[in-house]
Structure 1
Amino acid sequence: MALVFAFVAGPAMAAGAGAPHLEGSELGLIWVIPFAGMLLSIAIFPLIAPHFWHDNFGKISAFWALMFFVPFTLLFGWELALYEALHTLIGEYIPFIILLYSLFTVAGGIRVTGSLVGTPQLNTGILLIGTVIASFMGTTGAAMLLIRPLLRAIEVRRHKVHVIVFFIFLVANIGGSLSPLGDPPLFLGFLKGVSFFWPTTHLFVPMVLVSVILLVLFYVVDSWLYRKEGGKFGIDQHTKEMVAQGKLEQTDEKLGLEGSFNLLLLCGVIGGVLLSGFWKPGVSFEIFHVHAELQNIVRDVILLALAWLSLRLTNDESRKNNGFNWFPILEVGKLFIGIFATIIPAIAILKAGTDGALGAVVSSVSTETGEPINLMYFWATGILSSFLDNAPTYLVFFNTAGGNPEMLMGDLSQTLLAISAGAVFMGANTYIGNAPNFMVRSIAEEGGVKMPSFFGYMIWSGGILIPIFILISFIFFI
């Protein structure tokens, strides 16, 4: 295999003195095979061998990571391989998983008490609230805060899948459009010089349009299914049947909130993330050419401390009644280490721009005279963000468009709008398009909702979201 990779890919040498450097322009598309294998494993194994997948998905993730790193090490040397591994771990994966862990832990300590019945009005209201708050507490924070109350509300419903799918569309993705806190691509733009409120003013109309269409469509679909289930009488009868079968416990709890101090801890998580963006002490620690900046280390320590406080202060019984367990974060952690590892060559190829194996994609966003084609920026950024990490994909096309924040916020504001909307909106196209998608799916399945497969979910997103994105294209980018 190493010989095959060497023949097709050619040498990607370390960059002489200083840190090793991966030349994406010298990598062939064959290096993307482990990443494709990782995605196909996520898509196919749960369908053909669900029990094997459940018991071994961590090993499968490790297998595909080794399928990249072993040939890579043999061909390009241990120094470059070690550098890329450490760069991915320290600069990307560890901060990513710490943020998810802290949000998962803190939000899991907030429990809405009382009887919630998943009527169309209540379900739509939860989706609306989640969409609104996602821009201020992040799509992951909003999703982790509201998914469990929503699951409790629809526990008595027969049709549940559509509720979770629309929740992923709105709360876990599109709702995060209005600030750098909402989604990682916008935070990267903020760090590159895009003003904090630029997404608020420019993405507001597209985000509201997409959200209103989805909320109205959801209400219509949910109302039809609710009536099909027999309306309130049908729900009441179904509830009695579930209680009789021991699948549901009757409760006389009053509507309220347990663990409300976790809301303050959530604000602390947001503050820690913002701190790493604003505070630049200029201090870093080097581990084999990889720099760990002080502000990022402080942020991660703060997030871990907040998660520890949540675990210490939240009643264990309350977490248990909230359906909290560690499997969803373990699943995301094990799968995404494989994704982060195997995605290294794909991102390197993209960063090579027109000189890379995906040069045709990068060059398609501009005319021969260098004028940006906003429609292509929207779709190229969006489609790649659906399968690759949307943060570096955003950065690739941000730089392709010139990388000058003043110009991109000025004369090229529609181009920046296309890049931003593509990265944020189309993260909803697949389970791996945005981290909370996978977590929501995992929590829903732990809660008894049989979610669509990887490809099954794409049928949902393709049938519902793609027509809406085509409409957005005509209104804003043509």
Structure 2
Amino acid sequence: MRLAAVAAVMALAGLAAPQALAAEAHGLPGSEMSLLWAIPFAGILLCIAGGPLFFPHAWEHHYGKIAAFWAALVIVPLVLAYGLPAATEAVLHAMLLEYMSFIILLFGLFTIAGGILVSGNLCGTPLVNSALLLIGALMASVVGTTGASMIMIRPVLRANDDRRHNVHVVVFFIFLVSNIGGSLTPLGDPPLFLGFLRGVDFFWTTTHLLPETLFVGGLVLGLFFVLDSVLYRREGGLPKIVDPTPDSRVRLRGLVNLPLLAGVIAAILMSGMWKPGGGITIAGVTVEWQNLARDVIILALAFVSLAVSSKEYRAANGFNWGPILEVAKLFAAIFICIVPVIAILRAGLGGAFAPLVALVTGADGAPNDLAYFWLTGALSSFLDNAPTYLVFFEMAGGDPQALMTTLSSTLIAISAGAVFMGANTYIGNAPNFMVYAIARGAGVAMPSFFGYMLWSGAVLVPVFALASLVFFL
């Protein structure tokens, strides 16, 4: 690994002449940067995708070091090529203005949702299961796909622990609750919050993605009901399984956390409407007062939740800090590694990503929404959907005002592709693998990585193809 690091540093440092590599006033000179700058970004995403599958033991114990390695392969060459001030400003811009708010929101939602417990049990009939999936999907846009998955997966597992056929219930749970349901607000899924941080209005997502979400979510839920009904009828003639969790009254516990969730939403809305001007400037990067206030409020609400929530409820939810620590470390590296990629994308057809830009651009220069939907979705299926969203957001021009108005169909395609198609694999969105692990621990014979893709290929891909014909042609 040391030899690889030295080689990469030398290669990237030699991309341009010393004088020509001075950074531009408003950022890195993306038009002059080679595709070699994208190697660390591709490397960390591939490690995130393949590490838990191909070298799980090493990944579990050393993912932080691996992430730091890829981040160093960006920072060191940036300093060598453009100087310490320009490199510092570029990295701090990503970390202070995007990463900090991103991880604080995830931490807040993760912590507060972890104190909410759905206790009791219902019988997992097709109608009950469909209702549980619908509730979880609606909840996902309020508490995030991670929060909704944490709250709802155990009630769903308990409801179906006496069913002979229950694998499909968890698979569709991942489709609907861990992904599609989070498409209506920036709280729902990390890609949409990154869009909010870039200037997309909070309720723009709600109003503009509602038809696509209803169409895709409705079709997937309808397919689930049909499949579950068939399997439920088949079980009728088979010997019954003793229910390990008999039916009991369902209760929502930890209600003290609901006003705290409302406080998170209020803080985000406040940061979008209150513009006092000014802020705290660090090494040329200004964190505006409204954003600083939002992040402080969310942190405070999370710590209040820890203080007032029942430890018993958190234990019943299997709450621990492992998932959020992993996300924090990995995304710190991702946000650093994406810095040169964003700079190249901003150069458009004048940059090294010109072939990719041309692929999503029509002959008349207008964006190809169908290509944006499928390319964003394809990459979101195997890489993390948050950085994938950022890549295509920038590829479409990166101007939030234009993307919300004249290019709104393109932003819809990018947003839908990133959120919906994160469900195509276990690694497309963070909650997917978490739900997989919880279900396996509960005794559900979950499909393998490629077995799950057979499910998504049979169910989701045809639905996405229909959505393409209806919305993006």
SS at match of 1:399: coil
1:282 pairs with 2:277: yes
Distance 1:62 1:456 in 2: 32
1:75 pairs with 2:73: no
Counting only pairs closer than 5 Å after superposition, residues 378-417 of structure 1 correspond to structure 2 as 378-386=373-381, 387=383, 389-393=387-391, 395-399=393-397, 403-404=401-402, 407-408=405-406, 414-417=409-412
Q: 1:301 aligns with which of 291, 296, 302?
A: 296
Deviation digits for residues 121-165 of structure 1 (CA, Å, limit 9, x no counterpart): 333212111223434454444344433433444455566554344
Distance 2:453 2:32 in 1: 32
SS at match of 1:114: strand
1:4 pairs with 2:2: no
Contact residue 345 and residue 351 of structure 2 kept, 8 A: yes
Q: Residues 453 and 279 (structure 1 numbering): CA distance in 2 closer, same or farther, change over 3 Å?
A: farther
1:466 pairs with 2:461: yes
Distance 1:86 1:191 in 2: 15
Matched AA of 1:324? F
Equivalent residue number for residue 206 of structure 1: 212
> Once the 2 structures are TM-superposed, how far is the Cα of residue 311 of structure 1 from its aligned partner?
0.9
Contact residue 424 and residue 453 of structure 2 kept, 8 A: yes
1:92 pairs with 2:98: yes
Give aligned pairs, total: 462
Q: Residues 322 and 407 (structure 1 numbering): CA distance in 2 closer, same or farther, change over 3 Å?
A: closer
Distance 1:338 1:444 in 2: 29
Equivalent residue number for residue 3 of structure 2: none
Contact residue 278 and residue 289 of structure 2 kept, 8 A: yes
Distance 1:122 1:215 in 2: 12
Equivalent residue number for residue 323 of structure 2: 328
Equivalent residue number for residue 244 of structure 1: none
Distance 1:161 1:8 in 2: 51
Matched AA of 1:15? A
> Once the 2 structures are TM-superposed, how far is the Cα of residue 291 of structure 1 from its aligned partner?
1.2
Q: 2:21 aligns with which of 13, 18, 22?
A: 13
Deviation digits for residues 222-242 of structure 1 (CA, Å, limit 9, x no counterpart): 4455566x45976633x45xx
Matched AA of 1:424? V
Equivalent residue number for residue 102 of structure 1: 108
Matched AA of 1:373? N
Distance 1:325 1:396 in 2: 35
Contact residue 42 and residue 454 of structure 1 kept, 8 A: no
1:236 pairs with 2:241: yes
Q: Residues 380 and 217 (structure 1 numbering): CA distance in 2 closer, same or farther, change over 3 Å?
A: same
Deviation digits for residues 287-331 of structure 1 (CA, Å, limit 9, x no counterpart): 111111111111111111111111111111221122222222122
Equivalent residue number for residue 243 of structure 1: none
1:65 pairs with 2:71: yes
Contact residue 124 and residue 219 of structure 1 kept, 8 A: yes
1:111 pairs with 2:106: no
Percent of pairs with identical residues:
55
Distance 1:362 1:9 in 2: 23
Distance 2:238 2:121 in 1: 16
Structure 2: which 5+ residue stretches go unaligned?
1-6
Structure 1: which 5+ residue stretches go unaligned?
241-249
> Once the 2 structures are TM-superposed, how far is the Cα of residue 464 of structure 1 from its aligned partner?
3.1
Contact residue 137 and residue 181 of structure 1 kept, 8 A: yes
Q: Residues 118 and 421 (structure 1 numbering): CA distance in 2 closer, same or farther, change over 3 Å?
A: same
Matched AA of 1:396? E
Deviation digits for residues 85-122 of structure 1 (CA, Å, limit 9, x no counterpart): 32222122221111111111111111111124444433
> Once the 2 structures are TM-superposed, how far is the Cα of residue 405 of structure 1 from its aligned partner?
5.7
Deviation digits for residues 239-273 of structure 1 (CA, Å, limit 9, x no counterpart): 45xxxxxxxxx678642122111111111111111
SS at match of 2:132: helix
> Once the 2 structures are TM-superposed, how far is the Cα of residue 62 of structure 1 from its aligned partner?
2.0
Contact residue 97 and residue 287 of structure 2 kept, 8 A: yes
Counting only pairs closer than 5 Å after superposition, residues 350-365 of structure 1 correspond to structure 2 as 350-365=345-360
> Once the 2 structures are TM-superposed, how far is the Cα of residue 214 of structure 1 from its aligned partner?
0.9
> Once the 2 structures are TM-superposed, how far is the Cα of residue 61 of structure 1 from its aligned partner?
2.0
> Once the 2 structures are TM-superposed, how far is the Cα of residue 7 of structure 1 from its aligned partner?
4.4
Matched AA of 1:206? E
Equivalent residue number for residue 247 of structure 1: none
Contact residue 150 and residue 317 of structure 2 kept, 8 A: no
Q: Residues 339 and 197 (structure 1 numbering): CA distance in 2 closer, same or farther, change over 3 Å?
A: closer
Distance 2:293 2:162 in 1: 44
Matched AA of 1:39? L
Counting only pairs closer than 5 Å after superposition, residues 308-319 of structure 1 correspond to structure 2 as 308-319=303-314
Contact residue 379 and residue 388 of structure 2 kept, 8 A: yes
